[in-house]
């Protein structure tokens, strides 16, 4: 049996399509080709749907496993020690997710946008924090960053915070 | 990016001079909660491993502790339990097929997913 979506098969299918719409193709051949092409399309949809359901059946994601732990803890055959371990795990998990949410909120509120950075770099607070000379360098860097079209501060903490926020589902899932 | 990489990034960020105190604190709290969760998940896995009943243990209970089964499930229930245990052994099963053991085995087969 041909593997679906192989390069060779795709190339042949493209040739058949071109042939079917060419003026020199006789009606019988055109009909047979179109009938074959619709069968191929149907088969490909069926194969994709089968593979998707297979993946779903095989994939015990962390979420599915957590549901299983929850279900197991309430079955009558679950012993008290196991029930307790499951409950302890589930509450530790909740605490971890709450801490992750709190951390993500904190990261969101702490990323400096470029206008905030420029304003701060030219302020007295920057002079107080870094000294007059370093504050000047800091302000020049902030101005250059803004001129380059950057939207956010490029310090290590802000850059990392944005990287973490871009992948926040990894911490929340 | 996987969770491990993100956690390493968070640790590096919290140690950087440009991280604010509230962010440092939030990272610290998160890492502590994560450590507690890891201990809890390892404990759960150890308890699951301890508690899955193999079919021979099940038969031992049927043969030597039937009264206990009767106390637990009633006479009829204990009989069904015994029949089930013998049928399992005859079918070549290795473990008890109750809901808790079945789910425990599924979880143990995927324990690394749970560990994250």
Q: pLDDT (tens digit, 9 = 90+) per residue, A47-70? A: 666 566 555 555 578 888 999 999
CA distance to partner chain B, nearest, from residue A14 (Å): 38
- Pick the residue of A65, A70, A129, A138 with the most B CBs within 10 A to test the interface with B by mutation: A65
Q: How confident is the model at residue A115 (pLDDT cuts 50, 70, 90)?
A: very high
Q: How confident is the model at residue A2 (pLDDT cuts 50, 70, 90)?
A: very low
Total residue count of chain A as it appears in this document: 173
If you measure CA to CA, which chain A residue comes closest to B37?
A92
Whether chain B has a CB inside 8 Å of the CB on A108: the answer is no
- Tell me what pLDDT residue B98 has: 87
pLDDT at B58 over 70: yes
pLDDT at B87 over 80: yes
B61 touches B68 (CB < 8 A): yes
Output the average pLDDT for chain B. 91
Residues of chain B contacting A102 with CB distance shorter than 8 Å: 26, 29-30
Q: What's this model's pTM, rounded to 2 decimal places?
A: 0.67
Q: Please state the domain extents for chain A.
A: 7-58
Residues of chain A contacting B29 with CB distance shorter than 8 Å: 99, 102-103
Nearest to A77 among B37, B47, B98 (CB): B98
Q: Please state the domain extents for chain B.
A: 1-52
Selection from A15, A19, A42 nearest residue A30 by Cα: A19
d(C-alpha A101, C-alpha A165), whole Å? 11
Cβ contacts of residue A143 below 8 Å, gap of 6+? A118, A121
Q: pLDDT (tens digit, 9 = 90+) per residue, B1-25? A: 888 899 999 999 999 988 999 999 9
Of all residues in chain A, what percent carry a pLDDT higher than 70?
72
Whether chain B has a CB inside 8 Å of the CB on A69: the answer is yes
d(C-alpha A140, C-alpha B95), whole Å? 70
């Amino acid at each position: 049996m041909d593997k679906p979506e192989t390069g060779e098969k795709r190339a042949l299918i493209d040739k058949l399509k071109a042939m079917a719409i060419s003026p020199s193709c006789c009606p019988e051949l055109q009909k047979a080709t179109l009938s074959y092409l619709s069968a191929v399309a149907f088969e490909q949809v069926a194969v994709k749907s089968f593979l998707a359901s297979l993946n779903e059946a095989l994939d015990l994601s962390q979420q599915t496993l957590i549901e299983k732990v929850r279900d197991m803890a309430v079955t009558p055959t679950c012993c008290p020690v196991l029930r307790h371990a499951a409950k302890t795990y589930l509450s530790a998990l909740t605490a971890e997710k709450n801490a992750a949410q709190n951390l993500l909120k904190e990261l969101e509120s702490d990323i400096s946008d470029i206008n905030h950075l420029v304003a701060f770099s030219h302020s007295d607070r920057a002079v107080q924090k870094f000294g007059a000379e370093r504050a000047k360098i800091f302000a020049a860097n902030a101005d250059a960053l803004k001129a380059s079209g950057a939207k956010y501060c490029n310090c290590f903490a802000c850059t990392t915070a944005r990287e973490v926020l871009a992948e926040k589902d990894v911490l929340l899932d | 990016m996987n969770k491990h990489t993100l956690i390493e990034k968070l640790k590096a960020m919290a140690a950087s001079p440009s991280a604010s105190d509230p962010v440092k604190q939030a990272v610290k709290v998160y890492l502590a909660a994560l450590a507690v969760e890891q201990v809890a998940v390892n404990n759960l896995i150890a308890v699951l491993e301890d508690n899955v009943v193999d079919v021979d243990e099940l038969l031992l209970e049927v043969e030597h502790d039937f009264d206990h089964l009767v106390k637990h499930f009633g006479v009829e229930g204990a009989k069904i339990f015994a029949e089930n245990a013998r049928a399992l052994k005859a079918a070549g099963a290795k473990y008890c097929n109750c809901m808790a053991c079945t789910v425990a085995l599924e979880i143990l087969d995927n324990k690394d997913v749970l560990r994250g």
